[in-house]
Structure 1
Amino acid sequence: MASLPLPVAKRELRRHVRQILSTLSISSATTQTLIAARALFSLPEYQAARRVSIYLSMPAGEISTAGIVHDALASGKKVFVPYTYERTLNTELRPKSIMDMVELFSTNDYDSFQSDKWGIPTPSTDSIAARENSFGGRGRSEAIVTPTDEAETGLDLIVVPGMVFDSEFGRLGHGKGFYDFFFDRCAQQSTQNGKPMPFLVGLALAEQMLPPDQSVPMDSTDWRLDALITGAGRVLRSNQPRSHAPS
């Protein structure tokens, strides 16, 4: 049987896992969230990180990050959260919409966020200009800002969402490409400033993990993770250099 074209394979896998997640109980998701968060807090890379990006979770279907956000702020870390917007520069390029990571000021700031159409807490558009951007400066950062000696930029660690994960650190998102393109931009900044790429750690419910003999369909634009934490508290670490998936 011929293999499916990559876009079709991705779409079918998302549909299959979405159906599984639709039956997940709130109690199971809550328990898995607590266990995964505890495992994340024990990671040396998390403990050492001073500048972290944390995805803001949907109401269901993934590990909740509300407790992680509160822990990171309480630990004195500078926290950055996603903000997506349509390009105004190089509008002919794809993707048409891109994602930055912008500073979260406090737990009160986080609690003030309104939910978007997916139920994800989101900073207001009016507040973006005042927020530090992980790439440098404040507000949107379509172009990578070249840092001065006084400016600290970049991220030490990124807590990465996904819809499906595999044991080889493959990840399938929701199909918008926001995170993979953001990782490309991180790699560009890393090349410019000579600093390491952020440590990429995914959080996966048990229902989002493929069996060991199956893998996420990926192409050369898709990034693999450095580590993966499951809802059972298992911490998987890659022994390979971080990179895109093979062509």
Structure 2
Amino acid sequence: MKTAKKDLRRGVLRRLNGLSDAAIQDQSHAVKQHICRSDIYKHSTRISLYLSMPLGELRTDELARQIISDGKQLFVPITRTQGQPPRNTHSPTNAHKTMSMLNIPSIDQLETLNRNKWGIPEPDLAQAHTLHDALSPTSPGLDLILTPAVAFDGSFNRLGHGMGFYDGYIKAATRHADGFALHPPTILGLALVEQILHDITLPTDTHDEQMDAIVTSEGFKWSVK
């Protein structure tokens, strides 16, 4: 299964590398418009959103600014692949993988985030100690989780980059909501149309999480569960 996933990643990433900057920007703007006009967005106040890589991925900078401008709480990922997470995080962790979602309260703070080794804006350790964690014991958690992927299939399965960050985080966020007797967060996969695999069913394992909906420049496609 690991080999099959690696081969699929390579094929999709080659396709994405051929996209023009203008094509990615146009699709990113369209996805932002679809999300901000949706009922699920209007009814959500606590939203986690990935901050995008410089190349080969749907861009989220415009959407991130809009979430803050709309008076909603924006939570962005901080990831660590070795050692321990910042002391105020409450997400599952081991010696190899951890991801938490931290609140960025202002556009100014959003736009001054440093970029990590993948070129992704991310809170640094010093900032992380002062930012609110979405899954802290007193937090009601998240209403909406907007996830990246390498690809999605027609059955709402997600192919990530192989680190397992989002699968683990979605499970943790669902357990957190259960502890507050709240509805679990809605999980939306954001994608360029070139990331949708129409004729392939992704290989999945028991830990892989399905999306509630996938959003592309063509609009929402909702899962029937």
State whether TM-score is above 0.5. Answer: yes
1:191 CA displacement: 2.4
Q: Report the counterpart of residue 61 of structure 2 in structure 1.
A: 66
Task: Give aligned pairs, total.
Answer: 217
Matched, 1:118 2:118: yes
Q: Report the counterpart of residue 223 of structure 1 in structure 2.
A: 209
1:21 CA displacement: 0.9
Structure 2 regions of 5+ residues with no counterpart? 86-92
- Higher Cα Rg, which structure: 1
Deviations 1:76-110 (A, max 9, x none): 00110001134539xxx757221000010211001
1:1-247 superposed matches below 5 A: 6-85=1-80, 86-88=82-84, 94=94, 96-136=96-136, 145=137, 147=138, 152-211=139-198, 213-231=199-217, 233-240=218-225
For the Cα contact (< 8 Å) 2:148–2:160, is it kept in 1? yes
Letter in 2 for 1:170: N
Structure 1 regions of 5+ residues with no counterpart? 1-5, 137-144, 241-247
Q: What secondary structure does 1:118 align onto? A: coil
1:112 CA displacement: 0.6
Deviations 1:189-218 (A, max 9, x none): 12222111111011110111101x322211
For the Cα contact (< 8 Å) 2:84–2:94, is it kept in 1? no
Inter-partner Cα distance in structure 1 for 2:212 and 2:59: 20
Letter in 2 for 1:171: R
Q: What secondary structure does 1:12 align onto? A: helix
Indicate the RMSD between aligned Cα atoms, in angstroms. 1.5
Deviations 1:53-90 (A, max 9, x none): 0100001111100011111001000110001134539x
- Percent of counterpart pairs with the same letter? 32
Q: What TM-score, normalized by structure 2, do the two folds share? A: 0.92
Inter-partner Cα distance in structure 2 for 1:94 and 1:122: 20
For the Cα contact (< 8 Å) 1:95–1:177, is it kept in 2? no
Inter-partner Cα distance in structure 2 for 1:88 and 1:60: 29
Superposition misfits of 4+ residues, deviation over 4 angstroms: none
